[in-house]
Each structure stands twice: as C-alpha cells, then as structure tokens.
Amino acid sequence: MTDSCWSGNRDKIMSLAIAVAMTACSANPAPLSKVKSEPQSQHSRYSTQKVTPATPAPSAKSTTVKNLNFSVPVKFQGKTVYQVEVPNQEKVIALTIDDGPWKPTTTQMLDILKQNNVKATFFWVGKTVQAHPQIAKRVVAEGHAIGNHTWNHGYRKVSPAVARNEIERTARIIYQTTGVKTALFRPPGGYLNNGLAAYAKSQKYSVLMWSQTSADTDPRAKYQVFVKNVLRDAQPGGIVLMHDGGGNRSRTVKALPGMIKGLKQKGYRFVTIPELLAMSQ
C-alpha cells in the first residue's frame, strides 16, 4: 500500500471514530424507573414486581448505603391500600412516619426505633430531603423503608404536569441523596382527588393510606392520647400514621416508646410497608 493511500484511509478511520464518540456522548441517559388497595381520611397539615425489603442496617455511624428498590407486588401497583390482609391474621403492623426528614424530630425517633429494634416506613417531602440530606441518609442506613410524599406537600387540585413534577422531582432527590428508588406514595393530607394520587397510580405506585392514626396533628391533645389511639385501633395488617415533620412533633417523640411497648405487649411484630405488602402474596 502506498503512503498516500494509507494516509487517506487513516484520515477516514479517525473521522469515523470521532463521529461514533460524539454520538455516544450526546445520547440522553435513561430516565429513572418508576413503579406503584380505598376510604379517605385527613392527614397532617401541610418497576419491578417483587418486593425488595430494606437491607440489614449498617453501622450507626455509617451513612453510606447501597442502592435500594422499594418496589411493590403487581396486585398493589396502581392501587390504594389502607390495610393488608395477612395470612392467619398474624399480628403484624407497620408504623409510617410522614413529612420528614426533620430536625430534631427524625433523629430522636430514629434513636427510639433503634433502641427497640423496630423498622418503620418514612414518607418524605422532597424539599425536606433537600434540606436535611444527612438525616435522610441515616434513615436509609438504619434499615427503614422510604416512600414519596411529594415535593411541596400541597393539598390543592393540580394539573397533570404539576403532579408529575411534584412526584418525579421528589423521586429524583430521594435517589440522588440515598440511592433509593421507591414505588410507595402517600398523598399529602390523604387527599385522593386532587391529581397527585391519579398520577402516582398511572406510574404504578402503590398509594399508601392508613388504617389507624395517632392523631398527632391535634394541637390540643396530650401525647398519651396518641398512644391510646394507636393501641385501641391496632389490627393485624394495620398501617399506623404519625409524623416526624411539618411542625413541632415533640409530643409524637414522647408517644413513640409507649406505642411500641403497648403494641409489643399486645403481641404485635413490626414490619415495613414493603414487608407487609409481600405477606399478602
């Protein structure tokens, strides 16, 4: 082959290589994957097919976590869930905690949960995850499950575009902060008809409501009332509502040890929402 032929071919090969590299760099990254049984209650103010439970908690000092996928069984995708029918009416119950991460309440509740070897499910507001990323990382590192509770915690009717932004923006900050992808969604205030739950269902989220509430948003109630409410209404497969954010939740912190102790005395075992949904299979 002559020098001139080789030079021409070399130029063609290099041009082809550069074109391929530029095409690969400009390709859009794949979007985050999105995944997802009905009464209506009031709340606070303000895809895969198998359940992947939380991994065992790392050291309390560590906030480094592996990617987790809190997915839901097919039968619960796009459905609203208040309570789960469990085999043989086994006494299992799920504590759910809304509106965090929040200072100092979330860390105080984490300490109590850890002392009692209890795992809960936290439904996070996107802007509070953004404000308190280290607390968010600790929640996940200690083995708790996570759900999406929108970015702004609004109650008003919204357009599909706004609903999409509220949920997807929160999903992104949760993933970017903790490595968690979740198919669990709870609408702020428990409102099911303002467009948020509809969008979540369209993306196969499971819309998690509750079968009993601590009523810890009542500004006049003493913390002992929260304990009484939870123990009185406990049922197998139940979902308990309480809050760590959205305001001063010091009374909820005081009530939590009594809730845990009382439920254990009644024979209940604590599970996360993904674990509870898996039991109905």
Phi, psi of 261 (to 5 degrees): -60, -45
Residue 7 lies in a domain: no
- pLDDT tens digits, 17-29: 333 333 333 333 3
Q: State residue 31's pLDDT score.
A: 35
106 in any annotated domain: yes
Task: Look at the chain and report how many structural domains it folds into.
Answer: 1
Regions of the chain where pLDDT drops below 70: 1-66, 281
Q: Please answer whether residues 263 and 230 qualify as being in contact, where contact means their C-beta atoms are separated by less than 8 angstroms.
A: yes
Residue 181 lies in a domain: yes
Q: Evaluate whether 165 touches 16 at the Cβ level (below 8 Å).
A: no
How far CA 155 is from CA of 36, 191, 221, in Å, comes to 21, 7, 24
Whole-number Å distance between alpha carbons of 155 and 162: 12
pLDDT of residue 267: 98
Parallel/antiparallel/unpaired status of strands 145-148 and 121-124: parallel
Does residue 156 form part of some domain?
yes
Alpha-carbon gap, residue 57 to 110, rounded angstroms: 12
65 in any annotated domain: yes
- Within a 13 Å sphere around the CA of 166, how many CA atoms are in the beta-carbon half? 26
Residue 9 within a domain: no
- Whether the pTM exceeds 0.85: the reply is no
Report the catalytic residues.
Answer: 98, 243
Residue 65 has a pLDDT of: 53
For the domain that residue 273 is a member of, what is the CATH number?
3.20.20.370
CB atoms near residue 157 (< 10 Å): 12
Q: How far is CA 117 from CA 34, 66, 219, 262, 271, in A?
A: 30, 21, 29, 15, 11
The C-alpha atoms of residue 85 and residue 236 are separated, in whole angstroms, by: 8
Q: Is 8 a member of any domain?
A: no
pLDDT at residue 226, as a whole number: 98
Mean pLDDT of the chain: 84
Please count the residues of the chain: 281
The pLDDT score that the predictor gives to residue 124 is 98
- Which domain does 248 fall in, by range? 35-279
Any domain includes 76: yes
